[in-house]
Amino acid sequence: MNTANIHVPDGWYSLVSTGHHVHAVPDPESVVAASEIGVNVCAARPGQVAVTIDLAYRPPTDHVPRGWTLAASGTFIAATLLRIETPDGVVHDEFGGLAQIILPSEITYRMFRRFRDDTGLEQHLFELTPAMMLDPQGRPARIDVPEHGELNPDDNTGWQVACPTSTPGSSVLDSGREANRAEALRALVDAGLSLTQRETPDAGPLSPIFVCLGAEFAWVKGFGDPALSKSDLAQVVLDGVEGERHQALERVADAATRASRPPVRYATEPSSVMRHWNRIAAWFETNVPNYVITGADETRIADAQRRTGVKWPSELVELFRCVDGLPREPWMALFPGYELFGLDAMLDERDMMTDIWQTGDAENDPDRVIANTAGEAAWTFVDEFIPIAGMDGYFLFVDARPGELNGCVTVFDKVNADDAGPRWFSISALLDDLATSLESGRPFDGGWRPSIVDGRLQWDIEVER
């Protein structure tokens, strides 16, 4: 599940699938409007839209989230990458999961709404469920999406234009279909002028409106400028869709680049906690004599796990079997900037962090949907975060949430929470990199080199020359 909240001051945004027609006919009274290029969501009042993208196919159900009312539903075909965009052209990057949808997919969407008595705002929850489209042989179905280029002037061309109204958070839309592209462009310009003059006559030339010409779209400005002729505005539309076309290609290329990267910063593969801890312990025996490191017994580990109320990844249990914190004398940080925790310190730090962050969530944003899949940013300290090292409000924690990255190691800081994403696939991968750095002197975690100073481990950042 991939979830994020979008604050929509102007009351609307677009979920866009470029390159293929959309098939959806929601209730015309709904805040959802289907179009040839995606689904537009217009909040009835300024507020917050929570968008949930479910990447695993599941049959449609009649389940409605508690406290919400189903406002609209429908389907559309996604043949190219989806994205979420606001009226000012800002594309939201919170939804990395959109790029993971296997194309082509039939997307089922459901729009829920509820009214908050405490804030007086109407909120909306927009759910997407993709189902990969298969041919009779069970292979991904082929959808021929024409490449952008010179369009046939004889093609029957649809058009669409939408602009905000004087009522905050609302908008109005007009659309049609003409015999060819040139006539559709003229009709679009006429409709855009009519809508802006009728709905927002005092908005000014910088007020954006949404235009769609065939399968191409853009947000453009200038329809409120009396100095621009209809031919000028036609060129504005053409320039807008041309610019959007290039930006779309750049976004697709960028998404493909991101998708090719590993889901964690360091790609070291998981292996054995005990094997790599033994390498680290051997290094200490050689370089810090009489430094006695002991592990926790099964009773202490089981009691700590019970107190967290969370099922631990097996490597977390193995870690505490190997080491239950480091001796206080001589004190040293096992990782650059992080002191290794024993079981007692782990429980204390975890209790403190969950209390601070979850209390703040309950007071400031009680309805925020928090990601429950390992590796996804939660933007808070959830119960499944088990800190194994930390210092001064910064932590390395093991993510015990379910999912493919269960057991990954992530940084949590007091400013950006867990937004940086996982660093290692697992504890064993972290220990492998650490042991290799201690043994060879090679940089660890972005440029930290180990050394022995006054009988203790010290980390120094390598400065680029």
When mean pLDDT is compared across 120-124, 261-265, 359-363, the lowest value belongs to 120-124
Q: Describe the crossing of helices 273-287 and 314-322 by its angle, rounded to 10 degrees.
A: 20
Is the distance from CB of 361 to CB of 344 less than 8 angstroms? Answer: no
Check whether domain 2-130 has CATH 3.30.43.10, yes or no: no
Q: Per-residue confidence at 94, pLDDT binned at 50, 70, 90?
A: low
Q: Per-residue confidence at 133, pLDDT binned at 50, 70, 90?
A: low
Model confidence at 224: pLDDT above 70: yes
When mean pLDDT is compared across 215-224, 264-273, 343-352, 434-443, the lowest value belongs to 215-224
Is the distance from CB of 427 to CB of 315 less than 8 angstroms? Answer: yes
Terminal Cα distance for the chain, rounded = 43
Q: Per-residue confidence at 401, pLDDT binned at 50, 70, 90?
A: very high
Q: Per-residue confidence at 382, pLDDT binned at 50, 70, 90?
A: very high
Q: Which part of the chain has CATH 3.40.1580.10? A: 273-461
Cα(386)–Cα(349) distance, integer angstroms:
9
Which tokens is 352 given? 């403190």
Q: Per-residue confidence at 46, pLDDT binned at 50, 70, 90?
A: very low
User: What pLDDT is stored for residue 158 in this prediction?
Assistant: 83
**Section 266-274 average pLDDT:** 91
- For the domain covering 273-461, report its CATH number: 3.40.1580.10
Cα(310)–Cα(176) distance, integer angstroms:
56
**Section 35-64 average pLDDT:** 52
User: What pLDDT is stored for residue 51 in this prediction?
Assistant: 57
Quick: pLDDT tens for 402-445: 988 999 999 998 878 898 889 999 999 999 999 999 999 999 99
User: What pLDDT is stored for residue 298 in this prediction?
Assistant: 95
Q: Which part of the chain has CATH 2.60.34.30? A: 2-130
**Section 110-120 average pLDDT:** 67
